[in-house]
Chain A
């Protein structure tokens, strides 16, 4: 179990990227949903010991992470949002290297582990190629493979599916799902389905704060009976906006589907079944963040 208590971080340029963030994350997959600049990466880098918070504490199964960095690093599997590889190096030697850095010193074990991961991430055939020439998705898979080295008990993956094609994305989901039950997995994403597909718990983050937190189905249930929809002509959306607080508007076969979050149905609207996406929008809206897309 990972406990985060009152984390704060203000960057040199004055941006407060973490505002009193507190979370308790049990074993299983935890989704972190938030707009660009919400502070997700900042939070994850902090958990991954790559930077220190101004104040607050983090502990993993009782280890105080900020004091005993090495203990946490031994338990950690981290896929950064952006990373690079050594030029003129192959996936094989790179993963071998990371494995050594993670303490896998037995050569035979390391070899079979790396091979296993190469197969799992579908990189076997290119294992001896120069990574400099790899596509974004291939590189992302190397990132995934290295994160899984060393049986991490805390896996932090920052936008892991960015750049993956649907097949690879599915493959990755399966992979995570396999290990996701026994360890703490934190996954940040902008893609709502990633969370709904995978996560047993989630949080919505924006402006450096956690806005809402819980199990996805609970959060959806909380919106039940408060969400209304209406199909209007594209041109009418603007005028509608001036009358009622539109939550989302989305093109649907030549028209626009407008959803509104309200205790009672506005004139002409019908009840809509809430999705996680609606939860996301509603949470942001409730916290005063603009979610208008038109």
Chain B
């Protein structure tokens, strides 16, 4: 064995494969850490560059793609004798089969692991590069690297090596190993997607790569912990690592036991079917005469025959069917895994399934194309058929065409199969509106177009590489390069091979995405014609030695027709390219991420000094908005009445317009227009006489938002959603986009600390400090006054146009257009939405409030819960807080380019991507639609009736209180059980997302527009508060708060005012608890210790210990223990009667809220039914980083 081992090592050292792989892994790992542009799914942007957690996590990624190394190096080690046909020689040498096998394995395995080590070294080298941002580099220690090797790289690669080596040895086939790998990967991803946070413990042990176990421990880690600590190798992680190594050894053992030296087909392969019935050889006939023809038709016939051979080789192999099977799994997994928030599933509409296919398929198809391209291009040489066919009189192009054609066939099969899987899913789900047209469009053009082009590239690369493995590697490198190009600001579609993304919306179909898609597809298709020609020129036929000879051959293949086609294709390529260039760079402006960031930085640098300038207030807005959806054009004209409400003279005024919108005219009476910076949309007005306190001025505008031609595909990524706002069906814009804004726009400031450092901006101040006297007088919108509002909004006759306010008079039809005039009868915040689409309308009313839902004809499903939620919410909020201020409430569906709902006065644009397509058929599931509707309606109070001062805690007043309001309506409608489940999801998201904090976590009261705080933690805090001081008290506090602040004109309320109201209604003993919830970052650790259950008479006595600890946490996540003294739930639960939903618990047998202190508490109770679980804070009302150990199963001794 030692001999074989040594031989293998020598072989590997000499083989370019190991060296190439090691170099690639090294460089890739190096770049991930050392080049900021190369990112691994954006992990840890908030952490130190050399955070211990990131180093280890990165190695998980490399041990996963290290499967490639395992296959290429280790599986090859056992199959290469079959492939090179040297097996006979070898078997004759007299080494034992087992020794041979193990020698090979350990020799090659060492090098497989070596590739992983190269990645670790790459990370290490990258982490000490001098150009790294010193602020983001922690002190260097070797420990994470050693840890990564011992805990991640070595066991994982050992496992992959053993698995794929075994498969290859037993099946004597590389494709079997490759199939196993793809299958494994897909399964891994699918299962990974399906795992609920609740089941994480099970998968933590079973996930062979240990990533889940690692995640289980570290998922709620804070920045500090991620920077400095390593996950201890105990518990599940230890069990998992042992299992991983153990499983690997078991596989090796099995293989060693079954492996034999022989050349028979593997015993694991399909037995040859019984031979066809024997036919007698017919008598020898005279040799038939045949005619041979060589003309174009013959070449097509040859192509067909060659493709039949190529396709036959694939469809007759079992792995191909395995691949198809995985494909189906992938689609289903992708769809089922793509549930919406709070575990609500999606309706199986075609659009959703197509999305699932897009999300889960791309990677898979990529691998398949790369693999089969390698197999196909080298098939004739590898099998030796080349010797026979290369000398036959077919034109060389036939061979290349056949390879591409065969790949296309495979891709088509995969796509058809995905479609079949999707349709099957729809049938199973009882959905029968099959949109085959949409399926075909999407699969074979929008998504699939790229795959077909990719096939050509893959064949070209394989032909040029001349070696299967080299070719595959080259393809991977190409992908990495393209990925990297984008992130280093080379973002033009003209050199990024691929077709632009085109999101589908049921409302707007592919809309404005068609044009760029068609243009770029054509452009790259012409390029692929050139690639095909190049592949044809360089395709090896017979023996060719060296590059010079290849070049000679290529030159000799340049016939007149080749030259002509190349010239035509080049012409077409260049012409399409030029046309694209005109569209993206002349008609539109091509900008990279960096350009846009630089622009925003410049805006901040130049204009921040106006941030605190005295502003006039907007008191009247009157506008005409004309939308031309088919041309994607919107014209906005109007007047604003500005009044100087301050006691200072205003001498100059900064007016902003959206950078995308063209300014036809902008006029402020009494002022002269000075400097105009159109790049930043800034217009400086000066009042020569000054605008005296109490006097007014009128701002008139005439703006056009037009989309000419099409922009570069990076537009959406760099410019954000504004590029999808004015569309053919489902336009949704707001006043900040289509009207001038008064004053400096702080929202444009860059917030990411890294980006700011790059742009040499000072550290961000997300919001002014709580209590800052200046900002007390500016509301969340930057202004202090509400305004009157009136608009005439016109659109095409097939669409309905809606804006805040009430419709005045009838819809006017003239000049082939429809004019809607809306007017609000009381002042509103200057925050207006303009929405227009082809709508169905559902109408209802409730106690004088008209309820209208404007929806797309395709999405009638969830209108009922929206209306029901509206009614229930109106009832609750009216009773608990204050009366609803409008006579009408409207929900308007808009395209899924963005997925949120947003509350404007009496008007709520609601994305088709949430709610409208949620599947609410399962009664036990959480009702996402009900919740979102209630939340948005609550904003009519929290945001519109009362607006917070623009400072820390501002969004808490808006969002946290809306969360609380929605929670209370839901609790009333669905009962506390569902609420707890809802909160469990909130807890999970809070704990996870605080680990992704980029600056610092703040207590709820000081939150700086941090979503995980004002939504998730907000829900938890409000519920815990309500649980302790009572719903009536909380509502009383909110009522008082509203009473004091609603419709105010400044100063505006802060979270301090809110907390004061809460404190005022809470008994003295709860004041500390309120401090913990609102003013500190508090984390509890509650857990059940020993449990004892003894039957007493016909009852059970349950005795258990619960321990409780409390921590104060700082902004980086450092915890320090403090004394705990609070109210905690204790409960005993019975057997579960039926299958429960995630996080659902049965009615408790015993439940009690007790005030406890730090340390252990013993509970002794008698219950009537047999107990199954006991719990301390079982419903996770308190924030606990280990929510699972709050419950414990008991075993009853009988």
Contacting pair A116 B287 (CB below 8 A):
yes
Contacting pair A97 B309 (CB below 8 A):
yes
B1031 interface residue (CB < 8 Å to A): no
B390 interface residue (CB < 8 Å to A): yes
CA of A113 to CA of B546, assembled, Å:
39
Contacting pair B542 A122 (CB below 8 A):
no
Contacting pair A101 B392 (CB below 8 A):
yes
Contacting pair A51 B542 (CB below 8 A):
yes
In the complex, what residue of chain B is closest to A123 when comparing beta carbons? B281
In the complex, what residue of chain A is closest to B549 when comparing beta carbons? A52
CA of A70 to CA of B393, assembled, Å:
6
B561 interface residue (CB < 8 Å to A): no
- Chain B 518-561 interface 0/1 with A at a Cβ cutoff of 8 Å (1 = within): 00000000000000000000000111111001001000000000
A226 interface residue (CB < 8 Å to B): no
Question: What is the minimal beta-carbon distance from A174 to any residue of chain B, in angstroms?
Answer: 11
Contacting pair B290 A106 (CB below 8 A):
yes
B312 interface residue (CB < 8 Å to A): yes
Question: What is the minimal beta-carbon distance from B386 to any residue of chain A, in angstroms?
Answer: 8
Contacting pair B393 A102 (CB below 8 A):
yes
Within 8 A of B (CB), among A17-58: 45, 48-52
Contacting pair A78 B391 (CB below 8 A):
yes
Contacting pair A48 B393 (CB below 8 A):
no
Which residues of A have CB within 8 Å of B282? 115, 119, 124
B1139 interface residue (CB < 8 Å to A): no
Of the candidates A11, A76, A99, A115, the one whose C-beta lies within 8 Å of that of B391 is A76
Total chain B interface residues with beta-carbon distance under 8 A: 53
Which residues of B have CB within 8 Å of A78? 388, 391
- Chain A 82-94 interface 0/1 with B at a Cβ cutoff of 8 Å (1 = within): 1111111100010
Within 8 A of B (CB), among A146-174: 146, 150-151
In the complex, what residue of chain B is closest to A85 when comparing beta carbons? B385
Contacting pair B290 A101 (CB below 8 A):
no
B292 interface residue (CB < 8 Å to A): yes
Of the candidates B265, B305, B383, the one whose C-beta lies within 8 Å of that of A97 is B305
CA of A188 to CA of B391, assembled, Å:
18
Contacting pair B305 A101 (CB below 8 A):
yes
Which residues of B have CB within 8 Å of A59? none
Please tell me which stretch of A127-135, A195-203, A279-287 contacts chain B, meaning at least 4 of its Cβ atoms lie within 8 angstroms of it.
A127-135
Q: Given that A102-B392, A103-B294, A151-B290 are known contacts, is A80 also in contact with B387, CB under 8 Å in the complex?
A: yes
Within 8 A of A (CB), among B286-308: 287-294, 297-298, 301-302, 304-306, 308
Of the candidates B265, B392, B393, the one whose C-beta lies within 8 Å of that of A133 is B265
CA of A124 to CA of B279, assembled, Å:
8
- Chain A 103-125 interface 0/1 with B at a Cβ cutoff of 8 Å (1 = within): 11110011011011001101011
A278 interface residue (CB < 8 Å to B): no
Question: What is the minimal beta-carbon distance from A287 to any residue of chain B, in angstroms?
Answer: 27
CA of A186 to CA of B285, assembled, Å:
26
Contacting pair A116 B288 (CB below 8 A):
yes
Contacting pair B278 A74 (CB below 8 A):
no
Of the candidates A86, A109, A119, the one whose C-beta lies within 8 Å of that of B313 is A86
CA of A148 to CA of B552, assembled, Å:
31
Contacting pair B545 A11 (CB below 8 A):
yes
Within 8 A of A (CB), among B240-286: 265, 272, 275-276, 278-279, 281-285
A190 interface residue (CB < 8 Å to B): no
B139 interface residue (CB < 8 Å to A): no
Which residues of A have CB within 8 Å of B288? 109, 112-113, 116
CA of A96 to CA of B837, assembled, Å:
61
Contacting pair B393 A74 (CB below 8 A):
yes
Contacting pair B293 A103 (CB below 8 A):
yes
Contacting pair A74 B292 (CB below 8 A):
yes
Question: What is the minimal beta-carbon distance from B387 to any residue of chain A, in angstroms?
Answer: 4
CA of A124 to CA of B281, assembled, Å:
6
In the complex, what residue of chain A is closest to B316 when comparing beta carbons? A88
CA of A83 to CA of B382, assembled, Å:
10
Contacting pair A74 B294 (CB below 8 A):
yes
Of the candidates A12, A87, A113, A143, the one whose C-beta lies within 8 Å of that of B545 is A12
Q: Given that A74-B393, A125-B281, A133-B265 are known contacts, is A80 also in contact with B292, CB under 8 Å in the complex?
A: no
Contacting pair B281 A119 (CB below 8 A):
yes
Which residues of B have CB within 8 Å of A115? 282, 285
Contacting pair A84 B393 (CB below 8 A):
no
CA of A273 to CA of B545, assembled, Å:
47
A98 interface residue (CB < 8 Å to B): yes
Contacting pair B387 A50 (CB below 8 A):
yes
A272 interface residue (CB < 8 Å to B): no
Contacting pair A88 B393 (CB below 8 A):
no
Which residues of B have CB within 8 Å of A104? 290-292
A221 interface residue (CB < 8 Å to B): no
Contacting pair A50 B543 (CB below 8 A):
yes
Which residues of A have CB within 8 Å of B1064? none
Q: Given that A109-B288, A122-B281 are known contacts, is A98 also in contact with B391, CB under 8 Å in the complex?
A: no
CA of A116 to CA of B282, assembled, Å:
9
Question: What is the minimal beta-carbon distance from B765 to any residue of chain A, in angstroms?
Answer: 68
B384 interface residue (CB < 8 Å to A): yes
B431 interface residue (CB < 8 Å to A): no
In the complex, what residue of chain B is closest to A122 when comparing beta carbons? B281
B579 interface residue (CB < 8 Å to A): no
- Chain B 394-412 interface 0/1 with A at a Cβ cutoff of 8 Å (1 = within): 1100000000000000000
Of the candidates B294, B388, B393, B395, the one whose C-beta lies within 8 Å of that of A146 is B388
Contacting pair B301 A120 (CB below 8 A):
no
Question: What is the minimal beta-carbon distance from A150 to any residue of chain B, in angstroms?
Answer: 6
CA of A265 to CA of B293, assembled, Å:
62
In the complex, what residue of chain B is closest to A52 when comparing beta carbons? B549
Question: What is the minimal beta-carbon distance from A157 to any residue of chain B, in angstroms?
Answer: 12
CA of A116 to CA of B290, assembled, Å:
12
Q: Given that A87-B383, A119-B284 are known contacts, is A96 also in contact with B305, CB under 8 Å in the complex?
A: yes
A232 interface residue (CB < 8 Å to B): no
CA of A128 to CA of B279, assembled, Å:
11
CA of A133 to CA of B265, assembled, Å:
8
Within 8 A of A (CB), among B388-444: 388-395
A100 interface residue (CB < 8 Å to B): yes
Contacting pair A83 B388 (CB below 8 A):
yes
Question: What is the minimal beta-carbon distance from B808 to any residue of chain A, in angstroms?
Answer: 76
Contacting pair B272 A50 (CB below 8 A):
no
Of the candidates B276, B391, B393, B394, the one whose C-beta lies within 8 Å of that of A50 is B391
Question: What is the minimal beta-carbon distance from A267 to any residue of chain B, in angstroms?
Answer: 46
Which residues of A have CB within 8 Å of B291? 104, 106, 109
B317 interface residue (CB < 8 Å to A): yes
CA of A83 to CA of B384, assembled, Å:
5
CA of A51 to CA of B309, assembled, Å:
25
Contacting pair B312 A86 (CB below 8 A):
yes
CA of A50 to CA of B282, assembled, Å:
36
Which residues of A have CB within 8 Å of B387? 50, 80, 82-84
Question: What is the minimal beta-carbon distance from B1163 to any residue of chain A, in angstroms?
Answer: 69
Which residues of A have CB within 8 Å of B302? 100-101
Which residues of A have CB within 8 Å of B276? 128
CA of A52 to CA of B551, assembled, Å:
13
Beyond the given A11-B545, A113-B288, could you list 19 further A-B residue pairs with CB under 8 A, ordered by the A residue number? Answer: A48-B391, A73-B392, A73-B393, A84-B384, A86-B313, A87-B383, A89-B309, A93-B308, A99-B290, A100-B304, A101-B305, A101-B393, A112-B285, A116-B285, A116-B288, A119-B281, A122-B281, A124-B279, A132-B265
A-B complex: 4 closest residue pairs judged by Cβ atoms: A84-B384, A50-B542, A103-B292, A73-B393
A-B contact pairs, 20 of them (CB 8 A): A45-B543, A51-B545, A70-B393, A70-B395, A83-B387, A86-B313, A86-B379, A87-B383, A88-B313, A88-B316, A98-B388, A100-B301, A100-B304, A101-B393, A101-B394, A102-B292, A102-B392, A102-B393, A116-B284, A146-B388
B interface with A by C-beta (< 8 Å):
265, 272, 275-276, 278-279, 281-285, 287-294, 297-298, 301-302, 304-306, 308-309, 312-313, 316-317, 379, 383-385, 387-395, 541-546, 549, 552
A interface with B by C-beta (< 8 Å):
11-12, 45, 48-52, 70, 73-74, 76, 78, 80, 82-89, 93, 96-106, 109-110, 112-113, 115-116, 119-120, 122, 124-125, 128-130, 132-133, 143, 146, 150-151
